[in-house]
Amino acid sequence: MKRILLLSVLLQTVICVSASDFEVNSIYYNITRKTAPYTVEVTSAWPNSYKYSGEVVIPETVTYNGITYKVTAIGMGAFSGSKDLTSVVIPNTVVEIQSMAFIHCSGLKSLSLPNSLKTIGPLAFVGCHELETLWIGSSLAEIGSCAFENAKSLSHIEVSENNTHFKAVDNVLYSAKLDTLVLCPAGREGTFYTPYKVVAIGNYAFCGCEKLTNVKFHDKLRSIGDSAFLYCTSLSKINIPKNVRNIGDCAFGCCTSLMDFDVDYKNKRYTSSIGVLYTKRMDTIVAYPIGRNDPTCILPDKLKTIGNSAFLFSKITFIDLPNTVTVIENKAFRNCSTLVRISLGQSLERVGEESFMFCENLKLVVLPNSLKEIGMNAFAVCKSLPEITIGDSVKVIGESAFGSCESLVSITLGKSVEIVNDMAFMGSCKKLERLEFKSPKPPALGLYAFYLPPSSEGVSVSLGNGNSKQYIPDAVATKVVVPCGKKQDYAEYLLEWFDDIQENCE
């Protein structure tokens, strides 16, 4: 499965920023404060291939060029991919473990976090498959999203009795008042019974609990956080009790065995119909159980919104949205790799970010004239999409909205398009035969709006062999069509991209 976009973005960030200022005793450091009190963070040895291994003991201070630095952080991606790391001793001076600091350290079996530590960043210990035991010191106050995702062996959690933010009960991490479940270890198996004091399931609380087969909620539960059960791949049914008032975005995302939602009939905020989760008025679909193999989903006529990540990773092949739908939220149909056709209705106004990203088999989608907004990455990597017509109400096309749609043959931009943002059609022009602009005024084109990445022959820039400067040998010639009398206006904008510009004077 393709992981959430956050992971790929952070990985790129690690590649860009990880570099050491100096090395002492095979530990690499970045200077974080160059005036007294001098501080450093532990970092990776990038771009070298060095990985940490065995037992690593991080000192409280380190001296370099006559200056003594205090070690206060484990930097982003510092130990990333160090599969042979078996243990690490973190000193009582470290206050922060940054994003992905120990990602894929699969040999790490136990972890003791010092009393000085205050923050753990997102994805910090993802993929630490052998991590069994976690001890949390007295000062930890913040744990980032999916910090321990896929730590499949984690089963034992202890917390210092002096910690005022967290408590551990039966190896599960809670808020100090025991009213919020913060982290269920990924190694938990079978059925989990939510304690009676718990009124909220925190964001990412059960993230990556792949062996969890059932969760029993009690009637006092009020809130289920964002991505709370993300990648709980063995859950087959979810019962929503009567007092739940909030279910966060992507709360049950990527639960690939989920077949059914059942909502207590007394619940005033949510309901279920044929196992699908809706708001009470059935005007928003909250979540579709993606374990099903049904080719489609029949939606209620009064539906207005397709919720955030509602169909994420579902196996539907076609779907017709009723004419009442006005909004498709972010990631609504992301990674629906079996989706071939979708009808968007006649009232749709907004397609959110990443709504159809990675719908690699989508071949037919008609954007209605009511559409006003196309979000960033909305149709990115829809590799089978042959043509797209953008109606006359759209003013802005988001960044990478149609990036890597490598089968596009025809693109039509409506009369109101004012901005084509950065990389909007990047990587989508090799087969492009026809590009039509209907606006009398050329839209503003963002950086790399129609850029085609270098070919294996090493060509640096190309947008079809109609380009007067450079071209990719296998690319088709692209005909650009503009309104009558506007060829010169458009030529000034498009000559960098295309040189075959014709007017439509019919």
> How far, in Å, are 66, 124, 154, 210, 232 from residue 149 at the CA level?
41, 9, 10, 10, 10
pLDDT band at 17 (very low <50, low <70, confident <90, very high): very low
Q: What mean pLDDT is predicted for residues 20-34?
A: 95
**Helix, strand, coil percentages, rounded to 5, for the chain:** 5, 30, 65
Per residue in 300-344, pLDDT (tens digit) is: 999 999 999 999 999 999 999 999 999 999 999 999 999 999 999
Q: What b/e readout covers 185-209, taking b as 16+ CB neighbours within 10 angstroms? A: bbbbeeebebeeebbbbbbbbbbbb
Q: Tell me what pLDDT residue 13 has.
A: 41
**What is the average pLDDT score of the chain?**
91
Flag whether pLDDT at 456 surpasses 80.
no
Phi-psi map region of 450: left, alpha, beta (phi>0 left; psi -120 to 50 alpha): alpha
Which has more pLDDT, 452 or 251? 251
Flag whether pLDDT at 2 surpasses 60.
no
Q: Tell me what pLDDT residue 500 has.
A: 81
> How far, in Å, are 96, 134, 235 from residue 189 at the CA level?
30, 18, 11
Per residue in 199-220, pLDDT (tens digit) is: 999 999 999 999 999 999 999 9
pLDDT band at 240 (very low <50, low <70, confident <90, very high): very high
Q: Tell me what pLDDT residue 51 has.
A: 87
